[in-house]
Amino acid sequence: MSDNLPAIPGMNSGGVSTGGASSGNGFLALAGRTAKLAASALFLKEGMHLLRSHMQANANAAMRLSEMCGQAEVEPRFTSMIEDTSAALTAVAEASGEMVNAADAVDTDARGFNNAHDREYRPGYEASNGSGVRQAKPGFYRRTGRR
């Protein structure tokens, strides 16, 4: 599934490297990881929608089969087993609906984080890259409360 995710600038294809703006918790790396999280949540959401419709269709088919078995006077324990299967498939469909909601929340939160991160840190990132001078590590210029 991860092969289907879009290429994201600043993301390494392998492990986390050391140094550079795109490694560790650098601006592009963090933005890339949250974008990848949002994209993964969307893929999960799409998959859960498909699973939900498939399980609901199977549950409906099992219920119809159960009704036909009842009309054909099939032994009740077999009809009951088919009804239990239908109920279990319906439960899976409902649970996949809950997963859709969870994936939607993750997507929304990741996008919100990405937007807030971009608003907060892009100006500094752009200024740092535009100056042509090596910058201090993040946090160096933070005020410590002493003057």
In this structure, of 24-33, 98-107, 124-133, 137-146, the range with the lowest mean pLDDT score is: 137-146
CA distance 70 to 123: 70
**pTM for the predicted model, two decimal places:** 0.63
Determine whether 126 is exposed, middle or buried from the number of CB atoms within 10 Å of its CB (0-12, 13-18, 19+): exposed
Q: 19 in helix, strand or coil?
A: coil
Q: What is the pLDDT of residue 23?
A: 56
Phi, psi angles (nearest 5°) of residue 80: -65, -40
User: What pLDDT, in 10s, does the model give residues 42-82?
Assistant: 999 999 999 999 999 999 999 999 999 999 999 999 999 99
User: What pLDDT, in 10s, does the model give residues 72-82?
Assistant: 999 999 999 99
